[in-house]
Amino acid sequence: MNFTETDEQQALRAAVADLASKYGYGYFTRQARSGGRLTELWQEAAKLGFIGVNLPEDYGGGGAGMYELAIVLEELAAAGCGLLMMVVSPAICGTIIARFGTDEQKQHWLPKIASGSSIMAFGITEPDAGSNSHKLTTVATRDGDTWVLNGRKIYISGVDEAEAVLIVGRTADAKTGKLRPALFVVPTDTPGFTFEPIEMDIVMPEKQYLLFLDDVTLPATALIGDEGAALMQLFAGLNPERIMASAMAIGSSRYALDKAVGYAKERTVWDVPIGAHQGLAHPLAQVKIELELAKLMMQKAATLYDAGDDMAAGEAANMAKYAAAEASVRTVDQAIQSLGGSSMTAEFGLAAMLANVRTTRIAPVSREMILNFVAQYSLGLPKSY
């Protein structure tokens, strides 16, 4: 076990931080509040090879792993400008296609995802199937050489920016009972596929959508991997999603903590800077420890994932996402407390950041579902739901 990152990993961290410093949280909130996107940052990061760093070199990627992709997102978020679609496009969709796609599917999608020229969104959540994926009702029916999809999806991020959405459905043969998911790439211009924005109350440049799939007809090649055994394939993408959600939350919290520490060193209310009071210094030290612990678990999950140990990576990725969400909510909240009234100004933007990191407790998998998983699989307790 080695806790020192390699020279390449350190160089990657530094290069991403350098790029991110040119954009920052001001850029992120300006774009979000004006309805804009993070296109310039996405394109520049892509040009430098950051977006596809985890994807195979043969298909235009960087040939590194989830550890490196998490470095990229953590450092972008630490400057206040995390790219949510990195959680989805290269981490979930790129990984699933790289691991389970046919050569033709890899040739078609991976170079575009790796170069960042194309974004793939991911749709699993449905109005009546959020935490409980076994209730998915999006159904794919085989019709000769084609598949016909019908269903609804909700809260799907970045569909307006995406060329396609990786849709999790189930085949007509597996319409009920335990989930046997089937994964389909649906180009967003396919007839019968429509989407409308959901009015959200969070300040985030990536928008969330309600999707309608009405007799969406797709070629046989739209199915990724095996129609019957896709649960493993799905988790091959969901574990990276949890690692990347952790990276985004940890990075954002680093940003908030830096702001709080800087302020606590400068701001003098009585005779000394407020950071000299233990009432303020101790909670900041405490969240620093919690953040480092969450990061360690994220790095363990990424290391296990890159080593090919999907089962152990799954447990660690769930624990990392739990720890990162809890630590980030407490960190941003403590940063707000440290800044007093300033924290509520648009200049610092920490109130908006609190809502964003708070989302990590709910998505991509809720705190309660992780506790259910750990109780059942890690502790061997009876299934409670």
Ligand X SMILES: Cc1cc2nc3c(=O)[nH]c(=O)nc-3n(C[C@H](O)[C@H](O)[C@H](O)COP(=O)(O)OP(=O)(O)OC[C@H]3O[C@@H](n4cnc5c(N)ncnc54)[C@H](O)[C@@H]3O)c2cc1C
Q: Give CA–CA dist 351/369, Å, rounded.
A: 26
Site stretch for ligand X (CB under 6 A), options 64-72, 136-144, 281-289, 365-373: 365-373
- Smallest gap from Cβ 376 to ligand X, in A, equals 11
Give the Cα-Cα-Cα angle 99, 101, 103 (nearest 5 degrees): 110
Q: Report, in Å, the least distance between residue 166 CB and ligand X.
A: 9
249 touches ligand X by CB under 6 A: no
Question: Binder to ligand X among 56, 63, 130, 273 (CB under 6 A)?
Answer: 130
**Is residue 253 close enough to count as binding ligand X by CB under 6 A?**
no
Which of 90, 123, 181, 349 lies at the binding interface for ligand X (CB under 6 A)? 123
Instruction: State the binding string over 157-196 for ligand X (x if CB under 6 A, else -).
Output: x---------------------------------------
Determine which residue in the list 362, 373, 375, 376 makes contact with ligand X, applying CB under 6 A: 362
Phi, psi (rounded to 5 degrees) for 170: -140, 150
3-state secondary structure of 367: helix
Asked whether position 385 contacts ligand X by CB under 6 A, the answer is yes
| Min dist. Cβ of residue 323 to ligand X (A) | 16
Provide, for the chain, the percentages of residues in helix, strand and coil under a 3-state DSSP scheme, each rounded to the nearest 5. Answer: 55, 15, 30
Strand, coil or helix: what is 212? Answer: strand
Cβ within 8 Å of residue 101, ≥6 positions away: 109, 110, 224, 225
User: Which span (43-51, 65-73, 283-291, 366-374) binds ligand X, by CB under 6 A?
Assistant: 366-374
Give me 336's structure tokens: 């707000």
Q: Under the phi-then-psi rule, with left for phi > 0, alpha for psi from -120 to 50, and beta for the rest, what region is 177?
A: left
Q: Where are the alpha helices (DSSP H) in the chain?
A: 7-21, 24-33, 39-47, 66-78, 85-86, 95-100, 103-115, 230-266, 278-306, 310-339, 350-359, 367-373
Q: How many residues contact ligand X, by CB under 6 A?
A: 21
Q: How far is the CB of 238 from ligand X (least distance, A)?
A: 10
Binding mask 143-162 for ligand X (x = CB under 6 A): ------------xxx-----
Among 134, 214, 368, 381, binds ligand X (CB under 6 A): 368
Closest residue to ligand X: CB criterion: 130
Residue 375 near ligand X by CB under 6 A:
no
Residue pointed to by tokens 């447990």: 315
Instruction: Choose the stretch contacting ligand X; rule: CB under 6 A; options: 35-43, 253-261, 288-296, 362-370.
Output: 362-370
Among 9, 131, 190, 194, the residue binding ligand X under the rule CB under 6 A is 131
Exposed, middle or buried, 282 (CB in 10 Å: 0-12/13-18/19+)? exposed
* Residues in touch with ligand X (CB under 6 A): 88, 122-125, 130-131, 155-157, 208, 359, 362-366, 368-369, 372, 385
